[in-house]
Amino acid sequence: MTDRKTFARPLEGMAWMLASGLSFVGVNTIVRALGTDLPVAQSAFIRFAFGVVFLLPVLPGLIRGGLPAAAIGLSLGRGVVHVVAVLFWFYAMARIPMAHVTAIGYLNPVILMIVGAVFLGETMSLRRAIAIVLALCGTLIVLRPGVEPIQPGHLAQMGAAVSFAGSYLFAKRLSALVPASVVVALLSLTVTLGLLPLALWVWVPVTLVQLAGLAVVALLATVGHYLMTRAFRVAPLTVTQPVTFLSLVWASVMGSLVFGEAVDPWVLLGGGLIIGAIFWVTWSERSTLPPTAPEA
């Protein structure tokens, strides 16, 4: 019954995913606009601290419910990996074009397929192998090593993609132990606490504009994940996944209009090849791959 209902609402799912993508583009635009005036660790800490504030109404109930011992260890592990991912992402977002960050971020599901085969003993089907090769070709098109200089921001975003994939693996294990709301709350708490000493180490004065901007970033990210969840509830990934490619289009448009970044057709082509490979293997195998939107 659930499957029929899910497949019966594709347009609604596409609409939720479109709205989610726009929310994340808003996140990227604000972080890009804030630039490098604040240290990376401080910006990331403030963003996640606001996320904890948004969760305050539900935290008492989560704490009273208690946690399995295994969930505590997994949450701490995920917190460490996610801290690394967030630091990489904030660094990249402030230094390279928005479209580049978005295109490289599409690699998350591809990295998970590789990790699943190498470390988790999952079967590497021919389709998945082809999808991985196509996605890596798309990455080379985006970066064009030898033609365009690869900047530290590009390497940071590659690190972010790998780290976010690791965070998803922890989340997958956690979701079998505690409700989704608890998984989200634990992530916000552990990442905020993990970033705190790093932020204090490099702390500089913060303006009201910077605080307001990072508060909006936290709000938009929360809304984006909520909208994405709604999309997954009413439509399969084979329907919603292609819509995520529009995030690359929006990022290119916003980068051009707001920051004067040139619209690079090679980035659009490479990003399209990555998301096309993900969509093809998702459709052909009907497997559940993780979302490609940013998780910062």
Distance CA 117, CA 114 (A): 5
pLDDT greater at residue 136 or residue 148: 136
Distance CA 79, CA 190 (A): 5
| Mean pLDDT along residues 220-227 | 84
Average pLDDT, rounded, for the chain: 83
Confidence of residue 290 (pLDDT cuts 50, 70, 90): low
DSSP string, 198-237: HHHHT-----HHHHHHHHHHHHHHHHHHHHHHHHHHHS-H
Residue 149 phi/psi, 5-degree rounding, is -70, 135
User: Is 292 within a domain?
Assistant: no
Residue 244: CB atoms within 10 A of its CB come to 26
User: Is 34 within a domain?
Assistant: yes
Whether the pLDDT of residue 177 is over 60: the answer is yes
User: What is the reported pLDDT for 237?
Assistant: 65
User: What is the reported pLDDT for 248?
Assistant: 85
| Mean pLDDT along residues 228-243 | 73
User: What is the reported pLDDT for 1?
Assistant: 42
Confidence of residue 6 (pLDDT cuts 50, 70, 90): very low
What tens digit of pLDDT does each residue of 14-29 get?
A: 888 889 889 989 999 9
Residue with tokens 């946690």: 67
User: Is 296 within a domain?
Assistant: no
User: What is the reported pLDDT for 172?
Assistant: 80
User: What is the reported pLDDT for 68?
Assistant: 80
Q: Are 49 and 206 in contact (CB under 8 A)?
A: no
User: Is 293 within a domain?
Assistant: no
User: Is 64 within a domain?
Assistant: yes
Distances, alpha carbon 2 to alpha carbons 7, 14, 91, 160, 289, in Å: 9, 18, 41, 34, 19
Segment among 2-11, 55-64, 182-191 with least mean pLDDT? 2-11
Q: Which of 278, 253, 212 is nearest to 21 (CA)?
A: 253
pTM reported for the whole predicted model: 0.85
Distance CA 97, CA 121 (A): 37
Whether the pLDDT of residue 216 is over 90: the answer is yes
What tens digit of pLDDT does each residue of 47-103 get?
A: 999 988 877 776 776 666 667 888 889 989 999 999 999 999 999 998 889 999 988
Name, of 13-22, 36-45, 95-104, 273-282, the range with top average pLDDT: 36-45
Confidence of residue 3 (pLDDT cuts 50, 70, 90): very low
Whether the pLDDT of residue 286 is over 90: the answer is no
Q: Which domain, by its residues, includes 63?
A: 2-285
Q: Which of 45, 148, 160, 22 is nearest to 93 (CA)?
A: 160
Q: Are 257 and 46 in contact (CB under 8 A)?
A: no
User: Is 155 within a domain?
Assistant: yes
Whether the pLDDT of residue 289 is over 70: the answer is no
Let me know if 260 is exposed, middle or buried by CB neighbors in 10 A (0-12, 13-18, 19+). Answer: exposed
Distance CA 169, CA 162 (A): 11
User: Is 294 within a domain?
Assistant: no
Task: List, in order, residues 6 or more apart from 53 with CB less than 8 Å away.
Answer: 218
The percentage of residues in the chain with a pLDDT greater than 90, rounded to a whole number, is 29
Whether the pLDDT of residue 244 is over 90: the answer is no
Number of separate domains in the chain: 1
What is the torsion angle, in degrees rounded to the nearest 10, for the CA atoms of residue 206, residue 207, residue 209 and residue 214? 10
User: Is 295 within a domain?
Assistant: no
